[in-house]
Structures are given as structure tokens and as C-alpha cells.
Structure 1
């Protein structure tokens, strides 16, 4: 329907009705008119500055299990994946048919830089940490471990905030050094976690910490996983419990609220700390602080799990296949080391020669194909001339 007094009419199309404007007998679609004033996408069409510093990609990890008895480590696999969040595949599906080369081929496009491989035998369990795709590989025997649910059940008031897993954990290495293989192990373990800039990182992003300590007496690496919490200092325990949202206390047997405030002490002996051990930080920058007006807070660690006791067994080059740099059970003499080095060099030279030969064969095939195409084009041109 169209009215003479109006400057527009309502036109029904096959898809959707749209408004059309009258212009000297012709109609101009309002849809095309709106397209001229279309907003520009700012998120996907953002122009990067030419002098902007390149962002270094964060390390990402695959956690999976291999071997005939790998099903024993299924629960530990889930806990390790949760510990490595958010830079890991939480719901990664692996099957018995998958080989290590399958994970290596997928790791490149996905930006995965490290592998954590759990294996189990009839006598022991092992954890391998490898740098993708060229190594090195660190093999460790799992002496003992405790799952997250075991750690939570042993605590009277477990604290596992879900928002803490939205950011990557901090990593602290303690007592690594001395032997060369331990230095390589410390670098490999440290590079599994993203690095931080102390001056730019916000304290609110520091929600978890992974502590790796090397015990020289036993030769084991102790892994602990904590969540970071803060509490106001220079404040009585009763006031702190009220401020942090605990249950409302029973004041029926008291004459005044001041009795409750004066009754509470400054915390138990286990929570006491000296003035130099306190962390003086602005309250607005702290993660869980709910107290205004206090400029000092104490940082507390709450264990989440899992717990791991690891012992370094072997360090080798490459992705689980390469020259052994260290072995805790096998000791070789200098002559044996030199002979093994010569064998590895011979294998590498043979491999390089084969690769060079393959490249030459590919180049020959490409040249032959180009000649055939050129010859076919000449024949086609001659036929066209004759016709």
C-alpha cells in the first residue's frame, strides 16, 4: 500500500520487509543506505602500530598419558591439566592409536611448546617433560603423589577459588643448581610457565604459585601447588573474621560489642609474624582484600594440590629419542662417551645425506615436469598453426 502524502512506502520482499525511499519514481533500499554508514569493526580490523613491540607467545602444554598401564595415571593427569590452566587443553582426548609424532605434528599449528607425558609400568610411574619439537626431554620417576581431592580432604577449611584458574600460576624454583643436568632441568621447568614483568603485572593476576624445590639429600624434586590469599595485618582476629564475611558471632552472652572486639587476639601463634615479614601494599591492588583504610596485608598460601615427589632419572636430546646427556643409573667412561658421540654423529651425517639426496630428487622431478609441460605447450601451438 502507498500513500500520496508520504515520502516512503512499505515494500514486501521475499526475504524480509524493508523500507524503501521514493526518489523520482525509483526506490532506493534503506538497507543499502544503511550500508554506507556501517560502523567499522574495531576488534578484528585493528591496525597495529609499526613500532609496537612484538608480543611473545605464552608457553602452552599438552598433558597426556602413554603406555599399557597409563590408565592408572588418569586422575593425576586431570590434576596436572588443571594446574597448568589456562595454557593447556583441559579436555584433550588421546587414544592408544595416537603416537608421539601425532602430538608433535599437531603442536606446531596450536602453538604448544611443552609436553608432560605420564607413563606407568608394573613397578613404577614416570613423568616426562619435553620441549616440542626438538627437545630436550627430562625423564623423572614419580616417587609419590597426592591428588587434589586428597589434599582438600586433609584440610579443615580448604580454599580453592575457581577464578584463580583463569590466570597462569607463578613458578618458584628453589635450590636448583650445581650439576649441569639440574641446570638444564631448571631451565626446562621454568620455561613451561609464562614469564612476568614485575613492573607491569597486576597483583590481582597473581592467584596461584607452583613451588619446585630440589632436595639435595634425597635427590628429589618436590612440587607443591598453592593459591595466594591476603589478609589485613595490624587487626584483631575477631574483627578480621567479621570483615572477611565469616559467620555472625553469638553476642547474646555479652553486654556490648566491645567485649567481642577486645576478646579476640591478634591471631594464633602459627599466624603470627614480625613487622619485617609483612607485605606493605595498597589495599586496592590486593586480590581478596575487603578492608579499606589498612595499608599493610599479609600474604598466605593455601595448598591446592597435587603433590609430587620426583626423581630425575634421565636427560636426553631430542623428543624422547636422542643422545643421553645424563643417566642416574648408568655411568659411562670417557671412551664409551666418545664412541656413542661418534655413533650419533655418523647417524646425523647419514640423515643429512639422505635429506640432501631427497631434495635433489625433488628438484629433478620438478625440472622434468616443467620440461614436459613446455614440450606439451609447443605441440599444442604447432597444432593450432596447422589448423
Structure 2
């Protein structure tokens, strides 16, 4: 009986010590300290119609985002701001919609600024990949942040602020320590000066050895050893039908680079390889319509359609100053009332404490030890 109990205790201890590997987050996917983190949420009455776009944006912001974040209509923006500090969340991507258009708000926590972009057109990941003949979307590409490429974000101050905000959404890249194996996707943001639109595209990076025949690339790309039982030698396997032509193709020289480290599948260090991009989605056509200096509030630094004269700006500034002065006055009054209540409570407790601490008079004719 004692032996059976001892064996059962060992089994229980082993079960407790056993670590779940499937539900455990790999260390490579966990965000590092100091890296920007984000929440992608939906707000408003017509927000449910953007649920699919929200999933794609969360996938795009991987790995430093809350992919399984639960939200409800009862939650307000203040609720997310309160939990953002302890969790280290630095940015909010908020989707909202009206009967006419959808909007994307990119805000820096906790005090702004906030960019409001109108979503003119968008395509989901599944739409982009279904239109391709050979879609490529490996799961390993989501283990690291993308390489952010910005184009034509120069000139006006609001465009420079938008470029800085987009750059800060993802961690900075240290060229000296970054490994090439972690650079597997590119996020492109292009600003068209003629139309004022901002185009967002996402691509996966494919590296292939240069100067190698197509048949040999197919052989190097196979994970399992091919069956050579029916072939007399390796040359027959490479030259038989079904493995493409022997030509490499006419690719421009700008796509060929020398690698700084080995990447496998024929991509060796100090040898030339070709870089190709495969679009994975989503696609977004946006227009920057407003910039505010606070978190979804505050002064409007830029508006694409409303222009106010200096008199209106001064009037609004005076109203905001009056509102701020009134708020400070009320806070000072509340603090003064709290101090008065505390002093009054102390004054009321003092006679009771004196009464408790006072000694009773000793009766006459009695000794202390009698």
C-alpha cells in the first residue's frame, strides 16, 4: 500500500513539473523590453463591419500586438488607456465606420498625437492571396517585425509627423546585430503627392541563390531526399522533365545582393542571391484628413477640409484656457475640502484619545500594592 501511494505521488509530481509546449509562447515571438506594442480595436456603431480588417491588421502588427484581445461595446477608450500602461502598450490602432466611409485612427499613448485616416479602399489577405497563382505566406514570417519602408513623406509638417508615427509602430532595426533570417517581410507605405493617398502594402521576402539552374534550386528547396532509384545518376534526375528549364531568367542586377550570412537552401555567405517580393496583403488606400495633439482629442494641428482663420483659432484657444483654468480651480477646491475633512476628523479623535490615555485618580488611604 505504501509503495502504491509513493508511485502515485511521483506521477502527480511529474505531471505538475510537466511543461505545456504547445500553449507556451516561444521566446523568439515574445516582445522585448522597450519595444513598441499595440492594441488594434474597433469603436463605434458600425465597427462590426470591419471585423475582418481588424484581424488582418492584428496579423500585420505581429508579434508585438495583442492578437486575441477581447473587446465589447461596454468598453470605452479610457478602459484601454488604463491597462495600456501596465502592459507597456505604446500605440492604439482604432477602426471606426460611418454610413459613408471607414476610418483608421493611429494614436500614441497616453497623450497623443492622433492621426485620423479615411479608408478609401481595402483588400483583405485572403482576397490578395486568392488572386495569385502561387501565393506564399509562411508562418515563420510573423515571428519578427517587418521592415518598414516609407516613400514621399516629405514636405509638410503633418506628413513628417505621420512618417514618424508609422516608424514608431515597429521596433527599430540595429544593422550590426540583426540577423538576416528574421527579415522575412516588408511593410511599404507610399504617399502619392498628386492624389494625397497613402498606399499600404505588405510583402514576404524570398531569397534564392543566383547563378544556379532552376532544377538545382528545386532540388535544394526540397526538405526530403528525393527518390533516385529510377535514375542512373544525379544528372538524369536534374535534366528530366518536370523541373523547369535550365535558364535562370532575365532578372535585373538590382535584385542580386551578396549575403552577409548563410540562409540555407543554397544561399551562402559572400555569394550572390536574388531577392524577390510576394504580396501577402492586406491592401489599404487611405487619406490623412486630421491630426490632433492629444489622444483622440485636443488641438487640431491639421485638417484636410476645414481651414480656420486666426480669429476662430484664438477664440477656441481662449475657451480651452478657460476650461482648463476652471478644471484646476475645481481640483484645488476638492483638495482643500479633503484637507479640511482630514483635519476635522483628527480634531474629533483627539479628545477621545486623551480620555482613553488619562489615568484614573487613585483612591485615598490605599497603597499602590495593597
TM superposition score normalised by structure 2: 0.80
Q: Which residue number in structure 1 is paired with residue 247 of structure 2?
A: 265
Contact in 2 for aligned 1:59/1:112 (Cα 8 Å)? yes
Correspondent of 1:79 among 49, 56, 61: 56
Please list the CA deviations of residues 8-33 of structure 1 after superposition, one character each: whole Å capped at 9, or x if unmatched: xxxx79x969xxxxxxxxxxxxxxxx
1:115-134 → structure 2 map (5 Å cutoff): 115-134=92-111
Structure 1 equivalent of residue 208 of structure 2 = 231
Which of 350, 353, 377 lines up with 2:326 in the alignment?
350
2:68 maps to which residue? 91
Q: Report the CA distance shift for 1:363/1:231 in structure 2 as closer, same or farther (over 3 A).
A: farther
Deviation, structure 1 residue 249: 11
| 2:145 paired residue among 140, 159, 168 | 168
Aligned residue number for residue 35 of structure 2: 58
What is the 5 A alignment of 1:164-203? Answer: 164-203=141-180
Unaligned runs of 5+ in 1: 1-11, 18-54
Shift of the 266–128 alpha-carbon distance from structure 1 to 2, 3 Å rule, reads same
What is the match of residue 314 of structure 2? 338
With over 3 angstroms needed to count, the CA separation of the structure-2 counterparts of 1:376 and 1:82, relative to structure 1, is farther
The match for 1:26 is none
Partner SS for 1:339 = helix
CA distance in 1, matches of 2:122, 2:93: 16
> Per-residue deviation at 1:168?
1.8
Partners of 2:77 and 2:178 lie apart in 1 by 36
Equivalent position SS for 1:266: coil
Deviation string, structure 1 residues 108-166 (Cα, Å, up to 9, x no partner):
11111111111111111111111111111111100100000001101111111112112
Does structure 1 retain, via aligned residues, the 8 Å contact 2:109–2:295? yes
Quick check: 1:232–1:294 contact (8 Å CA) kept in 2? no
Shift, 1:368, TM fit = 3.8
Task: For residues 81-119 of structure 1, give each alpha carbon's deviation from its aligned partner in whole angstroms, at most 9, with x where no partner exists.
Answer: 011111111111111111111111121111111111111
Residue 309 of structure 1, aligned match among 276, 285, 293: 285
* Equivalent residue, structure 1, for 2:303: 327
Superposition map of 1:15-26 within 5 A = none
The answer to whether the aligner puts 1:216 opposite 2:190 as a matched pair is: no
Runs ≥4 residues deviating over 6 A: 246-252
Q: Are 1:130 and 1:138, in contact at CA under 8 Å, matched by a contact in 2?
A: yes
1:135 aligns with: 112
- In structure 2, list runs of 5 or more residues that go unmatched: 8-31, 363-370
Deviation digits for residues 24-58 of structure 1 (CA, Å, limit 9, x no counterpart) = xxxxxxxxxxxxxxxxxxxxxxxxxxxxxxx8511
- The more displaced of 354-363 and 147-156 is 354-363
1:360 equivalent in alignment to 2:336: yes
**2:259–2:270 Cα contact (<8 Å) kept:** no
Q: CA deviation at 1:289?
A: 3.9
Give distance in 1, aligned partners of 2:289 and 2:98: 15
CA RMSD of aligned residues (A): 3.1
Aligned residues: 331
Is 1:283–1:289's contact at 8 Å kept on the other side of the alignment? no
Stretch moving more, 353-362 or 242-251 = 242-251
The 1:380–1:122 alpha-carbon spacing in structure 2 relative to 1, beyond 3 Å, is same
SS at match of 2:164: helix
1:168–1:194 Cα contact (<8 Å) kept: yes
Q: Is the 8 A contact 1:238 1:265 kept in 2?
A: no
Query: What's the TM-score, normalizing by structure 1?
Result: 0.77
Comparing 163-172 with 67-76, greater Cα deviation is found at 163-172
Stretch deviating more after TM superposition (133-142 or 351-360)? 351-360
Q: Secondary structure at the match of 1:210?
A: strand
Does residue 281 of structure 1 match 2:259?
A: yes
